[in-house]
């Protein structure tokens, strides 16, 4: 046997998968921007992603903000820490931790659920049934999910930002005994529009990634319960990796721009 | 001669190396009820899925009302599919919707009827398959297999389609319920004046609901004729199948214990 054969096979497989994903993304996006729209379904997805993810995202950003506050205190001298905590927490949360943590939490919560739901619909022929009832699955199932992810994640992250900064405040004021006024004034002094904005752009991209990977893996799942399980795992793992990669890329873009 | 409602010309379909349909030729006249029989895995469901556009044949042509439908675009496909009603092998009810909305789905999504009116029709169709109005408020998961089949039947006939497909309507039901479903099918087809194409390996059901029977074996239609003539087909494969004998020209690929 040719020793390069497995390599060639892997490369071809990878190219095929990439092409399939690209085509799926194109189809999904093109159905997101063309009518008809299913407003009822969109609303349901928005509530599911935006509202029901709030507790998880709120908890993670709260504790991330608190931990960041403590670390900053440990890293700076007693005198500069009072100013530094507010600055580090505000920038760290809005630029990086808020969107990344929210993205990862939503990948686990929403991406997995979407892959499982669509995967089950696929293996029980419900997606085929949609087709025979003259309803396009891309319009009915996928577009509402992707639009909801794209719009709700920035909203979630915005709330998460506020909660995260409040986490730093708690540590700074109640644990370390610093002046609350200083924390708040320093926060507003350091934060610029672009910090928050770059985080929200990230959030939008992550929302797209999470819902796209959830839909893609679910829609293409095959082979019963095991296939649905695999689709769910793939959706979460691929979304998480892509989130971290795109996080770096967007950070780089905003820092050089 | 009238144009056949459905016509398959030399349809081939394989998965990987495996040939499933190897030149299927078939015609269904308007108002006719044809049943396809054949062993498990012989490609009966695949044949239906090719007609419904859920699978694309590798070669050959399929015509509906004289129009070729292989490789047509999405919009055309939706127009053709609006003539169809389909009862899936596993019912394939949407488990995120209550029963009545499942039945009304084609009316609400496909024909853009308002919900109240669609619900009224859905309840009528449920009554027609012997289910009471309060079943309409249940979820598909709360129904027994036989009830799911009946709801699937109600959904298939709700839009009063010209052509109805039944994939194993009686499999997995007790004999009495099976016979009730047979009666319902006969009644629905007659009342709607629809053309029906069904699949089954239940001979009692085949005799009851069909006026013609075709047998699919090794990817080809090996026999087609009037239902009354099936006992005198003179075709050994058909004889073996309708009498359910293990010995005969059809050899299952089994190893001796
Ligand atoms: N999506 C698919 N991918 C790969 N192989 C498939 C696919 N669908 C069907 N097959 C194969 O095609 C063959 C025919 O399948 P089909 O579902 O048409 O059988 P059937 O005649 O309906 O059998 P049954 O009476 O048990 O429902 C099977 O051997 C199956 O393995
Ligand atoms: Mg089948």
CA quadruple A190, A192, A198, A199: dihedral, nearest 10: 50
* pLDDT score for A216: 97
Closest protein CA for atom 19 of ligand 1: B41
Asked if B109 lies within 8 A of A140 by C-beta distance, the reply is: yes
Q: B24 in ligand 1 pocket by Cβ < 6 Å?
A: no
Q: A136 and B94 in contact by Cβ < 8 A?
A: no
Average pLDDT of the segment spanning A87-110: 95
Q: Measured between CB atoms, does A126 come within 8 Å of chain B?
A: yes
Point out the residue among B81, B89, B95 whose CB comes nearest to the CB of A131: B81
Candidates A126, A131, A132; nearest CB to B94? A126
Alpha-carbon distance of A93 to A162, in angstroms, equals: 9
Question: Which residues neighbour A87 within 8 Å (Cβ) at sequence distance 6 or greater?
Answer: A186, A187, A190
What's the B49 CA to ligand 2 centre distance in angstroms?
10
The residues with which B9 forms a beta bridge, in sequence order, are B61
* Residue B235: predicted pLDDT: 85
pLDDT over 80 (residue A102): yes
pTM, entire model: 0.88
Round the average pLDDT of chain B to a whole number and report it. Answer: 89
Ramachandran assignment for A222, one of left (phi > 0), alpha (psi -120 to 50 degrees), beta (any other): beta
For the cut 90, the answer to whether the pLDDT of residue A257 exceeds it is no
The CATH homologous superfamily of the domain defined by B1-83+197-248 = P-loop containing nucleotide triphosphate hydrolases (3.40.50.300)
pLDDT, residue B110, reads: 78
A138, A23 in Cβ contact below 8 A? no
Average pLDDT for residues B96-107, to the nearest whole number?
Answer: 94
Q: What is the pLDDT of residue A1?
A: 66
Residue A79, pLDDT score: 66
B151-161: average pLDDT: 91
Asked if the Cβ–Cβ distance from B92 to A133 is below 8 Å, we say no
Could you tell me where the DSSP H helices lie in A174-223?
A: 180-190, 193-219
Question: A-chain residues within 8 Å CB-CB of B84?
Answer: 132
Residue numbers in A near B50 (CB within 8 A): none
β partners of residue B212 = B34, B226
Q: For chain A, give the number of residues.
A: 257
B20 lines ligand 1 (CB under 6 A): yes
Total residues found in chain B within this entry = 257
Q: Note residues around ion ligand 2 (Cβ under 5 angstroms).
A: B 45
- Give the pLDDT confidence of A87-96 residue by residue, as tens digits: 999 999 999 9
CB contact under 8 A, A133 and B109: yes
| Position A6 confidence tier, pLDDT thresholds 50, 70, 90 | confident
- Work out the minimum CA distance from B205 to partner chain A, whole angstroms: 23
How distant is the Cα of B218 from the closest Cα of chain A, in angstroms? 24
Question: What residue of B is the nearest CA neighbor of A125?
Answer: B92
Min mean pLDDT across A204-208, B98-102, B197-201 is at: B197-201
A134 CB neighbours in chain B (<8 A) are 78, 81-82, 106, 109-110
Give the residue, A244 or B247, on which the prediction is more confident. A244
How far separated are the first and last CA of chain A, in Å rounded? 51
Q: For tokens 């509906």, name the residue.
A: B64
Please give the helix or strand (H or E) that residue A46 lies within, else none. helix A39-46
Which pair of structure tokens corresponds to residue A171?
A: 């540590």
Q: Residue A124: closest CA among chain B residues belongs to which residue? A: B92
Residues of B in contact with A136 (CB under 8 A): 74, 78
Atom of ligand 1 nearest to the CA of B89: 27
CB of A37 within 8 Å of a chain B CB? The answer is no
Ligand 1 centroid–CA B40 distance in Å is 8
**Residue B27 CA, ligand 1 centroid: distance in Å:** 22
Question: What is the interface pTM, i.e. ipTM, of the complex?
Answer: 0.87
Examine the pLDDT at A62 and tell me if it is beyond 90.
yes
- The residue among B220, B187, B204 whose CA lies nearest residue B60 is B220
- Binning pLDDT at 50, 70 and 90, where does residue A78 land? low
pLDDT grade, residue B151 (50/70/90)? very high
- Is residue B1's pLDDT more than 70? no
Q: What are the tens digits of pLDDT across the range A9-42?
A: 888 888 988 999 999 999 999 988 888 888 999 9
Higher pLDDT, B173 or A245: A245
pLDDT at residue A198 greater than cutoff 70: yes
Q: Are the C-beta atoms of A58 and A157 separated by less than 8 Å?
A: no
Beta bridge partners of B214: B36, B224
Domain locations in chain B? 1-83+197-248
pLDDT > 90: percent of chain B? 56
Which residue in A has a C-alpha nearest to residue B82's C-alpha? Answer: A134
**What percentage of chain A exceeds 90 in pLDDT?**
77
State residue B250's pLDDT score.
80
Contact A22, A125 (CB under 8 A): no
Is B103:B125 a contact under the CB 8 Å cutoff?
A: yes
Return the residue in A117, A129, A138, A219 with the most chain B beta carbons within 10 A, the one to mutate for interface testing: A129
* Helices A180-190 and A78-91, packing angle to 10 deg: 50
B8 in Cβ contact with B47 (< 8 Å):
yes
Q: Is the pLDDT of residue A74 over 90?
A: no
Residues 6+ apart with CB under 8 A from A91: A190, A191, A195
Strands (E) in chain B, as ranges, are 6-15, 18-28, 33-37, 59-64, 67-68, 84-87, 163-167, 195-199, 212-217, 220-226
- Give the 3-state secondary structure of residue B197: strand
Q: How far is B234 from chain A (nearest CA, A)?
A: 37
Tens digits of per-residue pLDDT, B203-220? 889 999 999 999 999 999
Q: Which helix (H) or strand (E) holds A61?
A: helix A54-75
Percentage of chain B exceeding pLDDT 70: 97
Specify the pLDDT at position B253.
63
Say whether pLDDT at B149 is over 70: yes
Residue nearest to atom 5 of ligand 1 (CA): B15
Please indicate if any CB of chain B lies within 8 Å of the CB of A39.
no
Radius of gyration for the alpha carbons in chain A, expressed in angstroms and rounded: 21
- For residue B160 the two structure tokens come to 């009063």
- Which pLDDT belongs to residue A76? 79
Burial of A108 from C-beta contacts in 10 A (0-12 / 13-18 / 19+): middle
As a whole number, mean pLDDT of residues A106-121 equals: 96
CA angle B114, B117, B119 (to 5 degrees): 105
CA-atom Rg of chain B in angstroms:
19
Q: Is A225 on the interface with B (CB under 8 A)?
A: no
CA-CA distance, A127 to A136, in Å (whole number)? 9
pLDDT score of B245: 82
Q: Is the CB of B15 under 6 A from ligand 1?
A: yes
Tell me if residue B147 falls in helix, strand or coil. helix
Domain boundaries, chain A: 38-256
Q: Please answer whether residues A202 and A101 qualify as being in contact, where contact means their C-beta atoms are separated by less than 8 angstroms.
A: no
């Amino acid at each position: 046997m040719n020793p390069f054969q497995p390599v060639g096979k892997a490369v071809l497989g990878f190219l095929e998968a990439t092409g399939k994903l690209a085509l799926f993304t194109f189809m999904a996006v093109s159905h997101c921007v063309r009518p008809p729209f299913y407003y009822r379904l969109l609303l349901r997805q928005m509530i599911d992603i935006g509202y029901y993810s709030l507790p998880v995202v709120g908890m993670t950003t709260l504790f991330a903000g608190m931990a960041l506050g403590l670390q900053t205190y440990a890293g700076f001298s007693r005198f500069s820490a009072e100013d530094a905590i507010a600055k580090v927490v505000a920038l760290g949360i809005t630029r990086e931790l808020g969107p990344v943590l929210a993205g990862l939490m939503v990948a686990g919560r929403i991406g997995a659920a979407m892959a499982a739901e669509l995967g089950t619909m696929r293996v029980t022929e419900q997606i085929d049934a949609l087709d025979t009832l003259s309803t396009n699955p891309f319009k009915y199932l996928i577009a509402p999910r992707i639009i909801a992810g794209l719009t709700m994640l920035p909203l979630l992250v915005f709330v998460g930002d506020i909660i995260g900064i409040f986490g730093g405040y708690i540590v700074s004021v109640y644990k370390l005994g610093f002046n609350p006024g200083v924390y708040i004034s320093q926060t507003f002094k350091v934060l610029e529009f672009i910090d928050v904005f770059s985080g929200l752009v990230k959030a939008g991209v992550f929302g797209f990634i999470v819902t796209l990977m959830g839909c893609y893996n679910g829609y293409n799942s095959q082979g019963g319960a095991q296939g649905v399980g695999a689709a769910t795992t793939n959706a979460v793992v691929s979304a998480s990796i892509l989130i971290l990669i795109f996080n770096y890329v967007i950070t780089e873009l905003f820092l050089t721009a | 001669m009238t144009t056949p409602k459905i016509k398959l010309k030399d349809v081939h379909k394989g998965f990987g190396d495996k040939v499933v349909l190897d030149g299927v030729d078939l015609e269904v006249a308007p108002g006719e009820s044809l049943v396809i029989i054949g062993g498990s895995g012989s490609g009966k469901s695949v044949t239906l899925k090719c007609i419904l556009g859920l699978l694309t044949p590798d070669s050959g042509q399929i015509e509906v009302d004289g129009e070729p439908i292989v490789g047509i675009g999405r919009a055309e496909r939706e127009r053709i599919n609006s003539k169809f009603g389909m009862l899936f092998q596993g019912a394939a009810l949407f488990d995120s919707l209550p029963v009545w909305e499942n039945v009304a789905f084609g009316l609400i999504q496909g024909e853009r009827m308002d919900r109240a009116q669609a619900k009224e029709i859905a309840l009528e169709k449920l009554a027609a398959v012997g289910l009471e109005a309060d079943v309409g408020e249940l979820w598909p998961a709360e129904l027994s297999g036989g009830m799911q089949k009946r709801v699937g039947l109600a959904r298939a006939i709700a839009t009063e389609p010209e052509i109805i497909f039944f994939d194993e309507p009686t499999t997995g039901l007790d004999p009495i319920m099976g016979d009730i479903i047979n009666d319902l099918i006969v009644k629905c087809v007659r009342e709607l004046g629809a053309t029906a194409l069904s699949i089954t390996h239940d001979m009692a059901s085949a005799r009851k609901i069909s006026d013609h029977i075709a047998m699919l074996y090794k990817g080809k239609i090996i026999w087609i004729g009037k239902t009354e003539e099936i006992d005198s087909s003179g075709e050994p494969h058909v004889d073996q199948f309708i009498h359910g004998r293990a010995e005969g020209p059809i050899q299952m690929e089994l190893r001796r214990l």
